[in-house]
Structure 1
Amino acid sequence: MGQLYYGNNPDPIVIEDRALAHLKVVVATKLRRNESFTLSWRHQGEDEPGRTTIWLHPSIPLRFVFAEPEAPELSAEWITAMAQSANSSGGIMLLDEHVDGV
């Protein structure tokens, strides 16, 4: 499992490595353009039911930490879907990957 460190909070947001790799591409693209947006996800596993949303801004420190040493092969479809949601008023909703034929 990967970890996303947001701001000065020492507690990471735990995200599966493959999803985090795709999210990193979209987030880096938006922040490189100096754009702000929200990122939301549903609580998984032992967490309380519900969801969390954070505001991402170029001035807020982010650090992506991956458990696996090798980067996964990226899905253009998943990146496109995340990028489209990032451009919506609701921001990025971190969803599971859905690929036709899998």
Structure 2
Amino acid sequence: MGKLVYGSGNRSFDIEDRALAHLRVVFMNKLRRGEPFMFHHNEPHVSCSVWTHPAVPLVFQFHGSRQPSLNREWVEALMQEASSPNGLRLVPEPTPGSVTLADAVG
């Protein structure tokens, strides 16, 4: 289980390493482009939303020693979430090859 530390260490989110690796790519790409976004995270009995901006420090802490392989379709789905009016929520990982061209285009 990894951890996303938001701000000056006063807020953190426990996130499974594989999911955290995918979220890191999304955060990096959005913030590198100067695109702030809302991030929503649900934990047992708690739901939290934070405004993510390039000026806010973020730390991605991984528990495991291996870098998880990335599922491009999951990264793309998460990027779409982050660009939506509702902001980024961790959606379930799609099975590789499950997204069709029609899904990606329309």
* TM-score in terms of structure 1 length: 0.87
Question: Letter of the aligned partner of 1:40 in structure 2?
Answer: H
Q: Give the structure 1 partner of residue 56 of structure 2.
A: 60
Unpaired runs of at least 5, structure 2: 98-106
Q: Deviations over 1:51-73 (max 9, x none)?
A: 21111000000000000111011
Greater percentage in helix: 2
Q: Deviations over 1:57-90 (max 9, x none)?
A: 0000000000011101100010000001111111
What is the count of residue pairs matched by the alignment? Answer: 97
User: 4+ residue runs of structure 1 moved beyond 4 angstroms?
Assistant: none
* TM-score in terms of structure 2 length: 0.84
The answer on 1:28 being equivalent to 2:24 is: no
* 1:28 shift after superposition: 0.2
Between the aligned partners of 2:77 and 2:30, the Cα distance in structure 1 is 14
RMSD between superposed Cα atoms in Å: 1.6
Q: Where do 1:8-87 residues align within 5 Å?
A: 8-43=8-43, 47-48=44-45, 50-87=46-83
- Identity across matched positions, percent: 42
8 A Cα contact 2:73 2:96, kept in partner:
no
